[in-house]
Amino acid sequence: MGILSILLLVVFVISCLLLILMVLIQDEQGEGMGGLFGGGSSTPFGSRSGNVLTKFTSILAAVFLLTSFGLAWINKTSDKSDVLGAAYRQSSEKNEVTEWWNDSSADKKE
């Protein structure tokens, strides 16, 4: 899983940088959010025909999302590392109260 994680991370960083570059070099033709209120085209959401830059941007966005989900899936923690459950099991074995408001040391002093 280590090599796959490194490979996904490299693809993720490259897609991030390329996606930023593609968004920055696109020109505004009134098809963005400002175009919805200021006119633009006859359809409410702009024309469906995109140029090469918009299609490449959408492909990069899909690669970005897929690699981010892949990285999240690979780097998730397992159920074996349940720290909170281990603390509850340990406290129940010792029969101690672990809540701060039920401090048993205050009762022992009196």
pLDDT digits (tens, 9 = 90+) for 40-82: 555 555 555 568 888 899 999 999 999 999 999 988 866 666 6
Nearest to 31 by CA among 20, 21, 23, 39: 39
Domain ranges of the chain: 2-80
Query: Which DSSP string do the residues of the chain spell out, in sequence order?
Result: -HHHHHHHHHHHHHHHHHHHHHHHHPPP-S-SHHHHHH--SSSTT--S---HHHHHHHHHHHHHHHHHHHHHHHTPPPGGG-HHHHHHHHHHHHT----GGG-HHHHHH-
CA–CA gap between residue 70 and residue 23 (Å, rounded): 23
pLDDT at 6 over 60: yes
Instruction: Enter the pTM of the model.
Output: 0.55
> 15-36, pLDDT tens digit by residue?
999 999 998 988 776 555 555 5
